[in-house]
Structure 1
Amino acid sequence: MIKGINVYYIYFMLSQVIWGVLPAFWILLRDLSPLYTLASRIVWSSVLCFILIMHKHLLSNLTGLCHQRKQWPYIAGACLLVTINWGAFIYAMTRGFILQASLAYFINPIVVIFFGGLIFHETISLMQKLSMFLAASGLVLAFCLYGQVPYLSFIICLSWASYSLLKKKIVLDSQVSVFIESFSMVPLSLLFICFSEMHGTGAIGTFHGLQWLLLPATGIVTAIPMMLFTAGVKGVPITVSGILMYCSPSITLVIGLLSGEVMTRPMLVAFIFAWIAVAIYITGIYRTMKQIHSREGVQAIRSHTQEIHK
């Protein structure tokens, strides 16, 4: 049992560490336009996902989509949102806005909770409401004091939070769903790649030798951490995963600073409020799980007492 739990923790931590250090990989592609890199990521992610689908014999799930027309609008929305998210993230990584991407994923869980309460009418605790208020206050205060808004943080965070919630409506296998979402954009991506190469703005003439391996690697670095996360999250308690999920943006923050980005005053204000909000958010998770365990313990004692009296 302990060995199994350790494996889940390893998978989960590896996914967070890989996501955290990925900015170092995307920086290697900064000589290309962000749109070209995005198009390459879409194509190679589709190839890798299709190989996995064939390996796991999920092709029947893919062909059965024709009869699930109610799923099409949700899949189309997910396709649009994940494309926007990938594009904004790649732009941030390759154009010197890594800190904004880090901030986006610090506040992302809080935004997901807000959307969950707003759209799905899920219960929001007092601690969660306080964390949402503080995270929003930091962004508003940064704008009021300095007149600057981390717009990329907004785009990355809102697109990923919306994508995460929309995925709740999609009943397909996760790998099949991800493949369709990326494959839907492959025709446009291939056209853009061809257009860029014809006009001398693509990888030809820019990349040489082993640099060409970076393009198929965009699919690998997209799929591997997602698979590790999916495998690990099954065996990691919510209280622990809620804390460990902040390893990724923390590592990204460090990489952003090491790459030469400067923590401006507006960003510092936003980060300080975000960190406080995250601390309150994690405290709320811990208290909730502690109450659940306490109730389960009381129930177990009551059941045991009833058995004795019988």
Structure 2
Amino acid sequence: MRHINIYYIYFLLSQVIWGILPAFWILLRDLSPFYTLASRIFWAAIFCFLLILKQHLLPHLLDLRNQRAQWPYIAGACILVTLNWGAFIYATTRGYILQASLAYFINPIVVIFFGGLIFRERISRLQKLSITLAAAGLLIAFALYGQVPYLSFIICLTWASYSILKKKIVMDSQVSVFIESFSMVPLALAFMLFSEYEGVGAIGVFHGLQWLLLPATGVVTAIPMMLFTAGVKSVPVTVSGILMYCSPSLTLVIGLLTGETITQPMLITFIFAWIAVALYITGLYRTMREIKSHTGLVEVRKRQ
């Protein structure tokens, strides 16, 4: 039991760190979001590689050559996480933190849907209703106001798809995160050098201790990613769905504290999302009670 619980702790910690991460990205808003993304990729790869060397995981990395069946999953994860990072950085540095929060309120519902569709996990009627309501909130907001929180949509779909894909990757979590970052390093480094050459990079913008923010992007990226990757493979999709609500709740608070306001279209979407969350939690609670009741009945019969 203790061995299982540690994965729950890993997963929960990743959600808490991601929830407060917008406060860090705000410190980098003077830079282009693409430059920040490139820095994040570059420094995350370096930080992950140092951890791999420290923990003597290099043989696991070299063994990737013999795991060709994993290559398509790793490539897909690399593309999805890069798109997700870029959209999230843009949202948090350009005044759309609430859209980022909304994305991760809807995300668990989408993960649940994917879990039932791909892994054939049981979805109760209330959970199906929660999925329908979350989608209805987006459609109603669009129908009434002609507006859709596109950043929320992009962040949500990329991360939900990434979460499901990670369950297919069996290699060590640190090695997996390193490969996902390192594969994009050539493009990231080229973009950073080009930006500096054109005079639109960090030179001339950052001074003194501000330069420490760039390598810090690797630390704040790699640590929650490794915690998430270590936990997601051992935590059931339906359980991870509920734990994911820690992150958007913290992000919502940060968005409101930074002066963002909830527009009418977003308020409608949020209301439907919150109702969907309540229904999902109710459905999950009922399912857990049924399992507990069934387990107790089986134990009683065994004793008889």
TM over 0.5: yes
**1:300 aligned partner:** 299
**Structure 2 CA distance for aligned equivalents of residues 271 and 256 of structure 1:** 14
- Cα offset for 1:242? 5.1
Report Cα offsets for 1:228-276 as digits up to 9, x if no partner: 5567789999998654431221111111111121100000000000000
Report Cα offsets for 1:30-69 as digits up to 9, x if no partner: 0000010001000111111111111222111111111222
Instruction: Return closer, same or farther for 1:129/1:20 CA change in 2, 3 Å cut-off.
Output: same
Instruction: Return closer, same or farther for 1:244/1:159 CA change in 2, 3 Å cut-off.
Output: closer
**1:149 aligned partner:** 148
Report Cα offsets for 1:207-235 as digits up to 9, x if no partner: 00010010011111112234455677899
Q: TM-score, normalised by structure 2?
A: 0.92
**2:76 aligned partner:** 77
Instruction: Return closer, same or farther for 1:116/1:228 CA change in 2, 3 Å cut-off.
Output: closer
**Structure 2 CA distance for aligned equivalents of residues 278 and 174 of structure 1:** 29
**1:128 aligned partner:** 127
Which one is further off, 214-223 or 65-74? 65-74
Instruction: Return closer, same or farther for 1:170/1:18 CA change in 2, 3 Å cut-off.
Output: closer
**1:271 aligned partner:** 270
Q: Secondary structure at the match of 1:132?
A: helix
- Tell me if structure 2 keeps the 8 A contact 1:242–1:282: no
Question: What runs of 5+ residues in structure 1 fail to find an aligned partner?
Answer: 306-310
Aligned-pair Cα RMSD in Å? 2.6
- Cα offset for 1:159? 0.3
**Structure 1 CA distance for aligned equivalents of residues 210 and 276 of structure 2:** 41
**Structure 2 CA distance for aligned equivalents of residues 142 and 287 of structure 1:** 31
- Tell me if structure 1 keeps the 8 A contact 2:174–2:226: no
Report Cα offsets for 1:59-91 as digits up to 9, x if no partner: 111111112222211111111000000000000
Q: Secondary structure at the match of 1:169?
A: coil
Which one is further off, 93-102 or 234-243? 234-243
Which one is further off, 54-63 or 15-24? 15-24
Partner AA of 1:164 in structure 2: S
**1:45 aligned partner:** 44
Question: What runs of 5+ residues in structure 2 fail to find an aligned partner?
Answer: none
- Tell me if structure 2 keeps the 8 A contact 1:239–1:286: no
Partner AA of 2:223 in structure 1: I
**1:29 aligned partner:** 28
Larger radius of gyration: 1
How is 1:142-221 mapped onto 2 (pairs within 5 angstroms)? 142-221=141-220
**Structure 1 CA distance for aligned equivalents of residues 165 and 8 of structure 2:** 27
- Tell me if structure 2 keeps the 8 A contact 1:102–1:253: yes
**2:255 aligned partner:** 256
Instruction: Return closer, same or farther for 1:265/1:20 CA change in 2, 3 Å cut-off.
Output: same
Partner AA of 1:85 in structure 2: N
- Cα offset for 1:280? 0.8
- Cα offset for 1:18? 2.2
Q: TM-score, normalised by structure 1?
A: 0.90
Partner AA of 1:56 in structure 2: Q
Instruction: Return closer, same or farther for 1:18/1:140 CA change in 2, 3 Å cut-off.
Output: same
Instruction: Return closer, same or farther for 1:13/1:80 CA change in 2, 3 Å cut-off.
Output: closer
In the TM superposition, structure 1's runs of 4+ consecutive aligned residues that sit over 4 Å from their partners are 2-14, 227-244
- Tell me if structure 2 keeps the 8 A contact 1:84–1:159: yes
**Structure 1 CA distance for aligned equivalents of residues 62 and 277 of structure 2:** 42
**Structure 1 CA distance for aligned equivalents of residues 233 and 168 of structure 2:** 20
